[in-house]
Every structure is written in C-alpha cells, then in structure tokens.
A and B are shown apart, each in its own frame.
Chain A
Amino acid sequence: MSSQKRGKNIQAQNRTSQGSNSFQTTLSAWKVKQDPSNSKSISKHGEDNPVGNYEHADDQAEDTLQMAVGYFEKGPIKTLRNKDKTLEKHLKTVENVAWKNGLASEEIDILLNVALSGKFGNAVNTRILKCMIPATVISEDSVVKAVSWLCVGKCSGSTKVLFYRWLVAMFDFIDCKEQINLLYGFFFASLQDDALCPYVCRLLYLLTKKENVKPFRVRKLLDLQAKMGMQPHLQALLLLYKFFAPALISVSLPVRKKVYFKNSENLWKTALLAVKQRNRGPSPEPLKLMLGPANVRPLKRKWNSFSVIPVLNSSSCTKECGKKEMSLSDCLNRSRSFPLEQLQSFPQLLQNIHCLELPSQMGSVLNNSLLLHYINCVRDEPVLLRFYYWLSQTLQEECIWYKVNNYEHGKEFTNFLDTIIRAECFLQEGFYSCEAFLYKSLPLWDGLCCRSQFLQLVSWIPFSSFSEVKPLLFDRLAQLFFTSTIYFKCSVLQSLKELLQNWLLWLSMDIHMKPVTNSPLETTLGGSMNSVSKLIHYVGCLSTTAMRLESNSTFLLHFILDFYEKVCDIYINYDLPLVVVFPPGIFYSALLSLDASILNQLCFIMHRYHKNLTAAKKNELVQKTKSEFNFSSKTYQEFNHYLTSMVGCLWTSKPFEKGIYIDPEILENTGVAEYKKSLNVVHHPSFLSYAVSFLLQESAEERTVNVSSIQGKKWSWYLDYLFSQGLQGLKLFIRSSVHRSSVTRAEGVNYNSQYS
C-alpha cells in the first residue's frame, strides 16, 4: 500500500501547492502517473468493497491531516476554550501520519515554518520538529526558510539544537544542497554558540566543500579549539579542512582512531530507515521494463562482490582520479554530471543523456532497463568492452558445468542467464560475450543443464558469417542434436527458428538504416544473404536427418515446418532478397503425412512460397536490369516441381507423373487398387476421416459411406466443409495455386516469364 499512500500524499501536495511548481514536484507527479499499481488501485475503487473501504478511510486520514496542517498554519486561536484539545488532536494526527508514511515536502515546508516561527509553545515546536519525517524528500527551500527563522530569534535554544540535529539526520533527503551551502557562513558563525557547536560542526562536516575552506575560518576553528579544548567534533572539522587545504593547517592533529560524532542519539533512526525503504521502493518504470530481480542472492564464493550483478553506482570520484588533470578535491566538488542513483525515468534519461555519469561497474546496467537503453544507443567502444569483459568473465565464473561440484549454484546461474536473456529480448540484440561463452561452454555442455536458457542464448547470437560460426557452434550443437531425445531436437529447432528470425529482423533493419551498420561481419548484402541461406540449408540437413532418426515423427515435423513458415516468407515479410525452398526429405514427409494439420501447414507454406516467388518475379520484371539478387532458375524449378507434385496428388489425382516420377509398374506392385486417387483431398490418409465425417453429416443414417462419391458438386461442398474445419492453409493453397476450371492445372511460378 505504500505506493498508493505515497501517491495520495503527492496528490495532496499538489493540491496545496498549486503555485510553486518546483522540479521535484512535477517529477514526483509524473512518477505517480507511471506507477501501474497505483492506477490499478484507483480503478479498483468502488468495485471491490474492502479496498474501497480502505481507500475511504485513507481519504479521511488525508483530510484530517490537511485540516491539522491548516490549523497549524493559521496559528493558535486564542478565543477558543477547547484550544488544547484541538491542538492535541491535530498534533496527534500529524505525528501518526508522519511516523507511518512520512510527510510530503509541502507539508514539511509549512510545519517547519510553524515550529520555528514560535507561534506555539516550546513543547509543541519540539513535537512538530520531531515528526518532520519526509515521505520521500525534503525541498531545499523549506530548509532555507527554516534557517531564516533562526536569525529572527523567535525560537528557543533547545528548538535550535533540535533543528540542527534534525537537519543533520535528514541531510541525505534534502533534494539539493546548493542553496544551503550558500548559508555556510551563517552556520559557521553559529559555532560560537556553545550549545549548538557540536551539531553545527556535524552539519558543516557534511556541507564543507573545498572552496569553503578559508584561512579566516581555519583561524576561527583553531581559536575555538584553544578555547574549548580538544573537542572531537572540532577535530573532525579541522581534519576535513586539513584534508582539503593541507597548507593552511600546520598544527598536528592527534592520530587516534575515534568516533567523532555520536550516532546513537539519533532520534529518527527507525524513521530514516523507513524513508530509505520508501525511496528505494517500487520503480516508476513500467513493470514490464523492469529487468531482473531487485536483489540478487549473495554468492557463497569468497569474494568477487556479493552478488553476481554489481550494484549500480555512478563512477565514484576514485575513478576520476585516474585522470591526471583532476585532483581528488576537484572530484568531490563536482556537480555537473548527473548521478545514476537519481535516474528514475525515461524522460530523465533523455534530459541528461549528455552528462550521465556512467556506472563504475558496467555490469550493473544489466539490471537497469534505462541504462540498457543508454548502452544500446551510445555505441561507445570502451563502454561496450567493459560490459563485454564483465559479462564474459561472470558467465565463465558462474557457469556450473565448468567446475565439478558447482551444481549447488545451479539456481543462481539459471537466474543469471534469465536476466541476460531478458536484457537481450529487451534490446532485441544479442551480446558478443554470450556468443563467446557459447563457443567455450558448448563442448562441455551436457544438453540438460539450463537447457531452455542455453538454447535461448543460441537464438540471440548476433548476426555473423555462418561459415565462421558453424564449426564453433552449430557442428557441436549438431552432435548433441543427433544423440538426444526428440524433445531436445524440437527445442533446438525452435531456437534456430528464433535465431533465423532475429537475424532477419536485424538484417532488414540494417538494410533500411544503412549508416548504422555496426557489425559488418558480412559487409555486402549478398554476403549476408549467403550466410542466412547457409543457416537455412544447415537446418534443412539437420531436419532431414532428424526425420529419419525419429521415424517421421509428426511432432518433430511440426517444429520443422514452423521453421519453414519463417523461411518461406523472407522476401515479403522482411523485404530481403532470399527464397530458399525446403529439401525433398521434408516436403515429401509432410505431403505423405498421416496428420491433416501437417498437410495443412504444408499447404500454407506452399502458398506463401508462391506469393513470395511471384512477388520476386514481378520485381525482377519491373527492374529489368539484372541485379545480383535475381534468384536462380533453380529455385523456381524446385518450387514448381513441388507444386506439380502436390497438385498431382491432392487435386488432379495424377500422382507421381509430374514432379516426382515413380515408375507406374512399381506403383502397381504395391497392390493399391486405385493408387491414382489415393492421395487426393478425399482419399489422402490424413483427409479420409474428414471425408467420412462429411458424408455422415450429409446422411447420418447410412451404414456405409462411399467416399468415392465425392465428385462434381459434392467435391466443392466437401472443400467448403474442409475449409470450415479450420484447414485454412489448404484453402489458401487451393485458391492461389489451382485453377478450378474443367482443366485443372498447377499454377506454377514461371521462371522464364513464359508459361510452360
């Protein structure tokens, strides 16, 4: 509920602060809009009773808080008799909300004013100050205003002390500190006050930048030290000064380990933790973009960080020290670049993309979708190399089949691979490190461990020359492929299909946006097409052998045909000049299959091949000029050959005459009486059951059905019946490839631009 609650608070804050339109407010308002869980709960409002009630109660609490804040803002009303009661009630309200959910920055702004302006008594001021707990952040303006009250002298010494303690405790939640730093001189002057001195020291310790260190301040501090003796807080500040400006402080400071500031007296310890939790809370990014688990389980390994993926840290100043021209103190003073920790939304990324501080460990981007966007578009070689090295080494270190007895980390490794795959899917791009990892780990892989993840990595191999990758990857995968179960074969085919699809997408993008070719492993389009066609042929070989090994399994054939569904549509779907027809082993297995869905899929693929080849032919005729991508007549011949065979079998009942030729004598020897008809749409083993159902539907009471009676008009009805049974592939195929006239013939694609 915390996100809802926060949303409420922010809405309230917007209500109260229509005028002041600070950056922080608009940003948080944007966040609320983005928060899906929030909007969901709002839409639920009213439908669901318990939720509705809760919301209602929430609204009430919200209103009473508004009233309370309003009450304090107006100041004490002297005339009312039950003043104390009202005050107590409102104070309680504020305290409750503050400790439970924190206050919006606008509310803090108002209440700080109240507490320090001295409208109420000391006790009330103390109670208000103690509950100034932010929901997320405190605006800098509020602090500056509050400090200005200190000069007026309306608040007591104890209130001042409490305020400084509060400021120190909440320092990290103040949205920015530039203005506050401008008040450095004021704070420094407050050191005079003995009661305030320790707390002011602490604040200055947090606030001091190099330019704040001035000789007169050093002198003042040394005077104070002389006056008050060796105070740990003064020492701390002096040490810091000495660190920034060693030349200014010649006195030797005691070299003892010591805690300079006591943390134990922090009043807001639990509240601080809660705020931190809230600030870290649900990300404003849409959920589907969030990658990876929020906190990866710590590894058992002795070191190499605590989680597989490093935590996101912007380049620390230590990094910048590597540059000669930058001194350490310069780094500490930097405020130009945008720290990653603050990066929460895509608009922020766009605004700051020029001055984004990169993470100190590039691996941390894997868990951050915004930075993945960044590294995807930045194309900065060192960035990519850093990521490459990190990912390669981590994969190698984590890979469970590299080391004996490492299987206890199995779950961790699986999760890690899942994270990588999510990132690859998100970017629609494979990582080179994963490719290198596959090369190294495939020979050692048992084919079982993390199979799904491993094969997904295969499908994300970046596009490259097939002949180069083949010996390293595909030949080794083939060994496992041939020796494993049918399910493994299907999984491999599935991932190869995805690989093909990824390559095609990449190439089709690449062609249309020529200038950003970033991996010109195959520099010409012809080379690229050659590589893709080699991949397809390779899968063709795998499939043909697999069909033999698995004795024409229908299950396997489905996966093979799925692959060819991608292949047949390359020309039209991806606008790439490539048509590869399937090998005969696959075509005839599918044509003679006992499964109607296979035959239907085959019909669909033939139909798409037909469309693609026709489109290619048309383009060739339009262009006239002989381009390098004109398909060889062989492709057309192959296709026409298949088409005639298919039409011969399914339609004209003249199988094995054209296309594939089988000596009639052999066919007669099979003993099938009417072999000519036995493969048409009526008698084909996979359609026979349809034919019978069709006849039974017509005349249900007949005891014997004669499928040969499906002729003439009945033939057309039968076809309509088949189409109505979901055989859409068949429908498309017949519509596009068969002239339904008295003279039926296959409508092939003519490669000589004249009909044969």
Chain B
Amino acid sequence: MDSYDVSESTPRQSTSSRPEDYFISATFLQKRLESVRKQTSFIPPSPRRKIPHCSQLQEDVDPQKVAFLLHKQWTLYSLTPLYKFSYSSIKEYSRLLNAFIVAEKQKGLAVEVGEDFNIKVIFSTLLGIKGTQKDPEALLVQILSKSQLPSEDREGKVLWTGWFCCIFGDSLLETVSEDFTCLPLFLANGAESNTAIIGTWFQKTFDCYFSPLAINAFNLSWMAAMWTACKMDHYVATTEFLWSVPCSPQSLDISYAIHPEDAKALWDSVHKTPGEVTQEEVDLFMDCLYSHFHRHFKIHLSATRLVRVSTSVASAHTDGKIKILCHKYLIGVLAYLTELAIFQIE
C-alpha cells in the first residue's frame, strides 16, 4: 500500500510558502476538491479508454465464485469510501450484520444474542477481482437461509447477494487516507428490502453513502462500442439496442438487434487506434447504426433515448442494472463501471 504513505507525513497545519511544497502537503480534502475541479472542467472525463482485455490478476479468481457473479442481474450503486473497515474483522461483521438484519425484521421483539436465526450472513473476499495490486480486495456478502432440519443441505438457499469492488480505482485511492477502504462499486442481487437493510447497516457502521448508479445514454454508447470491440471466441447473444421514445400515453420502445459478427465488422471499420477506443470512434459507430436504421425506417434514433445495450460481453440498462455474460472480460466491464461510480462520488 505504498500509495498511502503520503498521509503520514502530511500534517494539516503545514504552512509552506512555495507552491511546489503545497502540492505535496495538500490535504486529502484539497486533493478531493482538485479532482472535482478537474472532473468538472473536462467533460467527458477521459475521451479514450482501453478495450477490455483478459486480466492477469483474474487468474487467481476462484472459478466457482466468478461463475456465481455471471449471468445474474445486478443493481448498481456507487459507494463512498468505508471508514474503519477491516478485512480481518469480516467474521465479526457477519455476526453483527446478522443480528442487525434479524433486529430489523422483527422490530419490537427482544433482541437475541444467540445464533438461532434462520438466516446466515457470510462475508468473504473475492480474490483477484481487482485491476491493480493497489486496488482493495473485492468483498462478497451473502445472506443464506439456514434450513431448520439438519438433514437438509447445511448451506441453504442464497436469499440475497451483494458485492463491492474497486477496479483501477487509483484516482480515488489517491485522495483518501488509510482510514478508508475504497470500494466504490456495489452490486446487489435480491430483494430490495434486503439491500436497504444491508445498505443501512453499512452506512451506519462505516459512515459511507450508497447512491443508485444510473447509466446515461452517453455511457451506454461507450459500453456498446467497448463491448463490441472485445474479441470473442464465440458469441452467446445477439447485439441488441433498446431505444425509448418519450410519447404519451405509453412510451414506445424500439429494439434494434444485430448479428454480433456484423456489429464487430462495423466496429472494425470505424476503429483506428489499436487497443483503444476514442470518443470519435464511439460517435461514428453509433452514427452508422443510426443512419442504417434511418435508411430503412425513416426514424432518427439520435432523437430518442438509448436505454439498454446487450452484447455477448454484458448487457446494461440505463436504470443501473447490469448482467455480465463473459468470464473473460469481467474485469474490463467492472473497470468501466468503477470509473462511473467514482465519477458519481467525486
């Protein structure tokens, strides 16, 4: 964690008169502000990104756990850094969260301290779900129903799953002190009432803040381009776009499905910079789709709103829902989502 060393030597009181000193001694709060200023002055934040590729670190991942993350619909949240979170205490957290959930669910009854609930909370780490070594370990929280009868499977059914991760979160990591753990992206699957209880517990315990992470049309186009650009051995789904036309009484949805190989061919024709995706390429890619559609249906899709993108890599909805399909590009997809989450909490 060498990036954190700075915090030790930066007393807030330091009053240096030379500007070059100032940058070293800037407090984390000022660094935050600097980065907000930077973010707000350049929109979009960075107009070129890497095409997702298979990560080296990802090889450490327990394949069973990864399989568990794929093919599920996750609701996205951004999360501010967790205060005083410790990976070594996750067992304690399991117990406390367990008690909290039970207390929330049976408010009014005496709080029990025993372990006789029919649910079980498990905290665990997802090794390898990270972009660089500096990124903190991803964290998995599961709620299992514990069967009453010993004869049944002890593990029980998974009622709710949520996981926290940080992929290439350098920009955020640099601006917080070591009291904080940065896991800006939170993904939940299960009843929203459970998400609410668990989120509340995290907010109370680690003084963090969850916000739903919506994906706007601009970012959806980026996803469409980046995911189309991924090299696939075989395609499992068609590439599909969904546009929404705001009209009353009911909105009209336009679905536009393309054979994934055609989409790839189109991408290759607009793609110039190897290994990277630029804003111009994204715009061009989408414009080609628009003009093609216009030629056939005389509808200007650019005047409507892109609400969903599905590819063989992943599919994303503007409401902040995502489903990751391809094991190989898991990290790549998460990296972009982390970027969006960090942008939201800046």
Contact = CB atoms under 8 A, between A and B. Distances in A.
Interface residues of A, number: 63
A302 B75 CA distance: 14
Given A239-B112, A303-B199, A524-B17, A323 B86 contact: yes
Contacts of A261: 110
Interface stretch (A4-12, A178-186, A311-319, A549-557): A311-319
Nearest to A397: B211
A520 B16 contact: yes
A521 B177 CA distance: 20
Interface stretch (B77-85, B267-275, B285-293): B77-85
B176 to A, nearest CB: 6
Contacts of B209: 304, 389-390, 393-394
A514 interface: yes
B37 interface: yes
Contacts of B86: 322-324
A432 B84 CA distance: 22
Contacts of B81: 385, 389
Interface in A290-324: 302-305, 310, 313, 316, 318-319, 321-324
A239 B344 CA distance: 45
A132 B22 CA distance: 63
B250 interface: no
A384 B29 contact: yes
Contacts of B92: 321, 328
Interface stretch (A43-51, A250-258, A685-693): A250-258
Given A362-B207, A382-B180, A389 B89 contact: no
Contact of A361 (B36, B180, B204): B204
B46 interface: no
Given A257-B112, A393-B80, A361 B13 contact: no
Nearest to B43: A443
A392 B40 CA distance: 14
Contact of A385 (B28, B93, B211): B28
B12 A381 contact: yes
A518 B177 contact: no
Contacts of B15: 514-515, 517, 520, 523
A239 B109 contact: no
Nearest to B82: A322
Interface centre among A254, A362, A386 (most CB of B within 10 A): A386
Interface in B196-253: 196, 199-200, 203-211
A304 B12 contact: no
B152 to A, nearest CB: 15
Contacts of A268: none
Given A319-B205, A322-B86, A390-B80, A255 B116 contact: yes
A360 interface: yes
A468 B22 CA distance: 16
A324 B33 contact: no
Given A361-B203, A523-B17, A257 B116 contact: yes
A524 B206 CA distance: 38
Interface string A496-533: 00000000000000000011111111011000000000
A243 interface: yes
Contacts of A322: 84-86, 89, 205-206
B255 to A, nearest CB: 23
Given A303-B200, A322-B85, A439-B36, A240 B113 contact: yes
A381 B27 contact: yes
A523 B22 contact: yes
A381 B199 contact: no
B146 to A, nearest CB: 10
Nearest to A359: B207
A304 B93 CA distance: 20
Contacts of B37: 439, 468, 472
Contacts of A345: none
Contact of A360 (B95, B110, B204, B344): B204
Contact of A318 (B114, B205, B210): B205
A376 to B, nearest CB: 13
A435 B180 CA distance: 22
Interface in B12-39: 12-13, 15-19, 22, 27-30, 32-33, 36-37
A512 to B, nearest CB: 14
Nearest to A306: B200
A515 B12 CA distance: 11
A436 interface: yes
Given A304-B199, A388-B32, A318 B96 contact: yes
Contacts of B29: 381, 384-385, 388, 432
Interface of B: 7, 12-13, 15-19, 22, 27-30, 32-33, 36-37, 40-41, 80-81, 83-86, 88-89, 92-93, 95-96, 106, 109-110, 112-117, 176-177, 179-180, 192, 195-196, 199-200, 203-211, 344-346
Query: Top 9 closest A-B pairs, CB basis?
Result: A255-B116, A303-B196, A389-B80, A393-B209, A322-B84, A439-B40, A436-B36, A382-B179, A517-B15
26 contacts: A239-B112, A255-B115, A257-B112, A257-B116, A257-B117, A259-B109, A302-B196, A303-B195, A304-B200, A304-B203, A304-B211, A318-B93, A321-B89, A322-B86, A323-B84, A381-B28, A381-B177, A382-B83, A393-B345, A394-B209, A432-B29, A516-B13, A517-B13, A518-B27, A520-B16, A523-B18
Given A328-B96, A382-B83, A432-B32, 14 more contacts: A239-B113, A304-B200, A305-B200, A305-B203, A318-B96, A319-B206, A385-B176, A392-B80, A393-B211, A436-B32, A472-B37, A472-B41, A523-B16, A523-B19
Interface of A: 236, 239-240, 242-243, 253-257, 259-261, 263, 302-305, 310, 313, 316, 318-319, 321-324, 328, 360-362, 379, 381-382, 384-386, 388-390, 392-394, 396-397, 432, 435-436, 439-440, 468, 471-472, 514-521, 523-524
